[in-house]
Amino acid sequence: MVEKAAAPRIPAVRRALLRAARALTTPLLPDDYIALLDPRWSTREATGTVVRARRETDEAVTLVVRPTHGWPGHRPGQYLRIGAEIDGIRHWRAYSITSDPEHPEGLVAVTVKEVEEGKMSPFFTRDCPPGTIVFLGAVEGEFALPQPLPPKALMISAGSGITPIFSMLRELERRDALQDVVHLHGTRTAEGFIFGGMLRDLAERHEGYRLHEQLSAQDGRLKTTHLDDLVPDWRERETFMSGPREMIDAFVEHWEGEGIADRLHTERFQPIIGDGSAEVGSGGTVRFRVTDKEATCESGVSILVGGEEAGATLPYGCRMGICHTCVGRLRVGRVRDLRSGEVHGEEGETIRTCVNAPEGHVEIEL
């Protein structure tokens, strides 16, 4: 299987008509023919058109996209997988959504920081003129403001980790809930602070929002030791944090040490799996129906790894449950999600083999 865009939202009548017309186009879909007239009329995948690219800093650009079909909505802090074609190959990356959930014109924006060796970020920041068609994945992510809003909040961000935090801050402002928010942001230089201008402005307008910029080029990086000085009451605050992995790890440890880990919400763009905390279950056997291979997975071993060890060539991408490249259709049995420990699976469901282990005997179409 392959990474896909989300299914767009289509009115029920249109959907029913398309379904009926399939009888005439099988094995193709009516959409395949409709797309010959205008590719954007296809309802197979959620797409959007780039409206403009707004430069935030030397390295960061906010890409404003008009979705072709209705926008399903998002919560500030969540991210979007966005795909584009470069030299004949479709690539995907996830970026935080930085537009308002209820944008008056229905536009959606993500903010991209250029990674020099990257493939996608240079494309989005440089070669993506208005009119470019991009593919839109599902809105994902658990990192979002809780309901009800916390009375006292602490935001910690660094580098491009600012993007989800920025969305949250704007939401707080919109909902008039910036009563008591402290924001610590680590950035190499003041100029490289993405959304720096807007946030300084916000701090000026709102008493309740205090912004601290830690310029790592001169003052060193933001550390847990800074907390007592900068935010003496940090233990009492609901904390939201987004930044590089090492930084998050250090802060998580610190909060754990205080026994208040549940107060800290983090966004890692690289989820960690198999850290031993989830229940690993019984393991089991897998039969790959298409490849015609049998494999045995010890407890805690994913279907993908088990299959590969048994000599099957299986599709994979990220190997950690975000790209959906590795999915196959489950025919028999149930599987355990290695990240959450949860057992699930129904006949006909597509499952990600990289983060699921068999729970007993499993048959999968792959």
Write out the residues near ligand FES by the rule CB under 6 A.
Answer: 316-319, 321-326, 352, 354
Half-sphere exposure of 172 (CA within 13 A, CB side): 31
Q: Please report how close the Cβ of residue 152 comes to ligand FES at its closest, in angstroms.
A: 37
Q: Please report how close the Cβ of residue 18 comes to another protein at its closest, in angstroms.
A: 15
27 binding partner (options ligand FES, another protein, none; Cβ < 5 to 8 Å by kind): another protein
Judged by CB, which is closer to ligand FES: 241, or 335?
A: 335
The CA distance from 249 to 261, in Å, is 12
The CA distance from 170 to 166, in Å, is 6
Three-state DSSP class for residue 165: helix
Three-state DSSP class for residue 361: strand
Q: Please report how close the Cβ of residue 137 comes to ligand FES at its closest, in angstroms.
A: 12
The CA distance from 51 to 306, in Å, is 45
Judged by CB, which is closer to ligand FES: 137, or 333?
A: 137
The CA distance from 157 to 266, in Å, is 10
Q: Which of 116-124, 166-174, 198-206, 286-294 is the region at the interface with another protein (rule: CB under 8 A)?
A: 286-294
* Binding status of residue 365 toward another protein by CB under 8 A: yes
* Binding status of residue 85 toward another protein by CB under 8 A: yes
Q: Pattern 18-37, binding to another protein, x per CB under 8 A?
A: -----xxxxxx---xx--x-
Judged by CB, which is closer to ligand FES: 283, or 321?
A: 321
Residues within window 86-145 making contact with another protein, judged by CB under 8 A: 87-91
What are 319's two structure tokens?
């190997």
Q: In this chain, which of 9, 18, 40, 44 binds another protein, going by CB under 8 A?
A: 44
* Binding status of residue 233 toward another protein by CB under 8 A: no
Element (H, E) at 183: strand 181-187
CB 291 within 8 Å of CB 312:
yes
Judged by CB, which is closer to ligand FES: 72, or 317?
A: 317
Q: Look up residue 40 and give its DSSP letter.
A: G
Residues within window 317-346 making contact with another protein, judged by CB under 8 A: 331
The CA distance from 76 to 177, in Å, is 14
Burial group, residue 208, by CB count within 10 angstroms (0-12, 13-18, 19+): middle
Half-sphere exposure of 158 (CA within 13 A, CB side): 19
Q: Please report how close the Cβ of residue 4 comes to ligand FES at its closest, in angstroms.
A: 11
Which of 299, 304, 268, 294 lies closest to 282, judged by CA? 299
CB 93 within 8 Å of CB 167:
no
Judged by CB, which is closer to another protein: 85, or 207?
A: 85
Judged by CB, which is closer to ligand FES: 125, or 302?
A: 302
In the block, tokens 């950035």 appear at: 187
Judged by CB, which is closer to ligand FES: 2, or 20?
A: 2
40 binding partner (options another protein, ligand FES, none; Cβ < 5 to 8 Å by kind): none
Judged by CB, which is closer to ligand FES: 209, or 316?
A: 316
Q: Which of 202-210, 254-262, 283-291, 337-345 is the region at the interface with another protein (rule: CB under 8 A)?
A: 283-291
* Binding status of residue 2 toward another protein by CB under 8 A: yes
Rounded to 5°, the CA angle 210-213-217 comes to 170
Alpha helices in the chain (DSSP H): 12-25, 30-37, 120-126, 162-174, 196-205, 216-219, 227-230, 245-257, 303-309
Q: Please report how close the Cβ of residue 107 comes to ligand FES at its closest, in angstroms.
A: 29
* Binding status of residue 4 toward another protein by CB under 8 A: yes
Q: In this chain, which of 103, 290, 296, 309 binds another protein, going by CB under 8 A?
A: 290
By CB under 8 A, name the binding residues for another protein.
1-5, 23-28, 32-33, 36, 44-45, 85, 87-91, 289-292, 315, 331, 365
